[in-house]
Structure 1
Amino acid sequence: MSAAQTSIPEDVAKSASEARDRLNEHTLKIVHWHFSEETGSPFWLEKKAELGFDPLTDVKSFDDLKKFPNFEDEWLRGGPIQRWVPKGHAGKPVYVFETGGTTGVPKSRMVIEDHWKDYELFSDTLPDEHFPPGSNWLMLGPSGPRRLRLAVEHLAQHRGGICFCIDLDPRWVVKLIKKGWMEHLEEYKKHCIDQAVTVLTAGHDIKCMFATPKLLESLGEALEDRGTSLQEVGIKGIFSGGTEFTPQWTRFCVEEMLGGPVEEGGVYMTPTYGNTLMGLACSKPITAADGYKISYYAPQPRAVTEVVSFDDYNQVVGFGETGRVKLYTLTDEFFVPGFMERDEGEREAPFDMYPWDGVSGVRPFHELASATTVGVY
């Protein structure tokens, strides 16, 4: 399906045009913040001299971000972390969240409140019927220096509940896989699931949870072995994330594990796509009629994803066509003018809920796939 064959309803096209105007306006504001002497971060103020153009005068719209070189993740390896803190936020408490780090120095991102804002926006998309306000949550995912753990806890608190967490070191999981110690891996996974089952069966009235697809599947099996299920222990709403989210897995999860669609099984599940740089992209509602296809939409204008040509990272592909995922982060805490993700997928058209481009079929970028170890995700 090419761009020419994709017919976007008139009302959606109008909303998409308005969203683009807001994105252009937001881009200008963020660029001025990060490159002004009074508010910018030491990193970007220093980088400004190398650019060959002046962001303050030469960036007039979102498309002008293509004048920047691609953001390199190596810039995030090592410190000092303070060079990323904008002067406009001086004196505020700063978090540091890490990603990667299985080998070598991990990538570090400074955060002040972005993870709170991202998950408050995400909270607005959750149906109260299945994520009842005031409910307690289980965080069945990575712990330690990871954004996700604190973000899910804030989501629970924002919705009036308390978050229960497990202890999980994803770096150890990846090391076990690379060493081929599959017996140890199974024991570690069992250790994590045992923690989750203990919390869920301890009378804490937990109704909502986050889990990675692999851990959600293992949890369902562990509860079944004990003669119970996610529904019977009280779970009503699940949000999940990770590259393991495929239409095949989603069909299995909904039909086999959750007892059918939400109106039959009683458990609502929504996939998400996110990372430490971007935050969280929501999924278009999943239906059996649509073959359980998963399409993600970034939280524009705070973050933008494009699906770009494998041959030219400044060229967006047509709707339905395949390309590599390119990410932009545009907040007053962090500025990423074009980062090439380790993922590829298909470009999706805007729709009424998210009137901007999305991406479906997300999977490891084919040129890197053989070197990618998925781990708990």
Structure 2
Amino acid sequence: MTSVDSQVSPEIASQAAEALDRLNEHTLKTVHWHFSDDTGSPFWLEKKAELNFDPLTDVKSFDDLKKFPLFEDDWLRGGPVRRWVPQGHAGKPTYVFETGGTTGVPKSRVVIEDHWKDYELFSDTLPDEHFPRGSNWLMLGPSGPRRLRLAVEHLAQHRDGICFCIDLDPRWVVKLIKKGWMEHLEEYKKHCVDQAVTVLTAGHDIKCMFTTPKLLESLSEALEERGTSIQEVGIKGIFSGGTEFTPQWTRFCVEEMLGGPAEDGGVFMTPTYGNTLMGLACSKPITAADGYKISYHAPQPRAATEVVEFDDYNQVVGYGKTGRVKLYTLTDEFFVPGFMERDEGEREMPFAKFPWDGVSGVRPFHELATATTVGVY
């Protein structure tokens, strides 16, 4: 995390410096928790013996996390999963959430309350006029052993609403794509969207929803076939996440599907970038004046992202330059000191609401892009 350069206003630079101080302090606290014998997890206490430095004495700032080797996602494949539970949380009810697993063993992350905390923080960023408190929600996205379903349900409950969920297996979607069974894929997508349409037209007073870009488009088409629209069935606010978010798609979505910009009576939509390891990165407000550009900012200090050089993962690129996304997770439940995402994008400057670096233009990392199947996202 490099210091902010001269392109940033003095006021934002000052806020960014304060945010970095908080990140440094939080990093120190998190590292001590995970590497102390009475609070750390079996995995990290065992890993400590393999390191060529002592995390308890040699990590003094966020930048010192570069001393760790990169986090390997294969560490999360297979069990025993309890090795990830910190001693400081022993005896607490524990969830296990899966990610990936279209082929081979999926990655598993144990969680105690992180999904609640992440989405409560995200709730604070939602404008109440578009996500009215007390409103019911629709969760139109992956279900099963995935964090997202329970997290969105908690978000609805945290905002005094009730969440209606559909049943969707994204692994089956990816298998259909890989087999080339496009007719089956269309039928499965229709099956999922039909569930959503049934809920939305059943008088449940649903005003808010989560969905992915592809499913949002399919839902819009299905409602249009029935002579109605997302706006007309009562939706006021949508938060959405997925790799399909491009300025072009967002423009089409706002202008063609959501009744125009929210300030002109349309449906409010906020893109997010997140996963089971990180939590949820919020986007800078999208405007037509800014060409519908989408910039994501991680939920510091609980997680941080950097955009780094393709040939040196410890070197952050300049503002506006392209690099690979590097993720850090820093909670007392889960510690990731540098994980290379399967995404690339451009480094964005801090701004008032999120005074730390962001990333825009998120897309599959070019070296892996041909092997990446996007599925329902």
State the TM-score, normalized to the length of structure 2: 0.99
Greater alpha carbon shift after TM alignment, 261-270 vs 251-260: 261-270
Partner of 2:151: 151
Query: 1:14-50 CA deviation, whole Å, 9 max, x = no partner?
Result: 0000000000000000000000000000000000000
Partner of 1:367: 367
Q: Residue 316 of structure 2 aligns to a residue in which SS?
A: coil
Partner of 1:104: 104
User: CA–CA distance in 1 between the matches of 2:264 and 2:53?
Assistant: 58
User: CA–CA distance in 1 between the matches of 2:231 and 2:308?
Assistant: 41
State the TM-score, normalized to the length of structure 1: 0.99
User: Is the alpha carbon distance of 1:9 and 1:93 closer, same or farther for their aligned partners in structure 2, counting shifts above 3 Å?
Assistant: same
* Counterpart mapping for 1:13-52 below 5 A: 13-52=13-52
Partner of 2:262: 262
- Corresponding position: 1:355 with 2:355: yes
Contact 1:213-1:245 at 8 Å conserved across structures: yes
| Aligned residue identity for 1:137 | W
User: CA–CA distance in 1 between the matches of 2:263 and 2:35?
Assistant: 51
* Counterpart mapping for 1:6-155 below 5 A: 7-155=7-155
Query: 1:284-341 CA deviation, whole Å, 9 max, x = no partner?
Result: 0000000000000000000000000001000000000000000000000000000000
User: Is the alpha carbon distance of 1:177 and 1:6 closer, same or farther for their aligned partners in structure 2, counting shifts above 3 Å?
Assistant: farther
User: Is the alpha carbon distance of 1:193 and 1:4 closer, same or farther for their aligned partners in structure 2, counting shifts above 3 Å?
Assistant: closer
Partner of 2:244: 244
Partner of 1:160: 160
Q: Which runs of 5+ in 1 are unaligned?
A: none
| Aligned residue identity for 2:270 | T
Query: 1:181-223 CA deviation, whole Å, 9 max, x = no partner?
Result: 0000000000000000000000000000000000000000000
Contact 1:6-1:319 at 8 Å conserved across structures: no
User: CA–CA distance in 2 between the matches of 1:264 and 1:215?
Assistant: 24
Q: Residue 312 of structure 2 aligns to a residue in which SS?
A: coil
User: CA–CA distance in 2 between the matches of 1:369 and 1:269?
Assistant: 27
User: CA–CA distance in 1 between the matches of 2:222 and 2:375?
Assistant: 19
- How far apart are residue 263 of structure 1 and its match? 1.9
User: CA–CA distance in 1 between the matches of 2:375 and 2:224?
Assistant: 24
| Aligned residue identity for 1:74 | D
User: CA–CA distance in 1 between the matches of 2:351 and 2:269?
Assistant: 20
| Aligned residue identity for 2:220 | G
User: CA–CA distance in 1 between the matches of 2:5 and 2:240?
Assistant: 33
Contact 2:4-2:16 at 8 Å conserved across structures: no
Contact 2:283-2:294 at 8 Å conserved across structures: yes
- Corresponding position: 1:224 with 2:224: yes
- How far apart are residue 259 of structure 1 and its match? 1.6
User: CA–CA distance in 2 between the matches of 1:116 and 1:66?
Assistant: 29
User: CA–CA distance in 2 between the matches of 1:7 and 1:320?
Assistant: 11
Q: Which runs of 5+ in 2 are unaligned?
A: none
User: CA–CA distance in 2 between the matches of 1:63 and 1:203?
Assistant: 52
Contact 1:258-1:265 at 8 Å conserved across structures: no
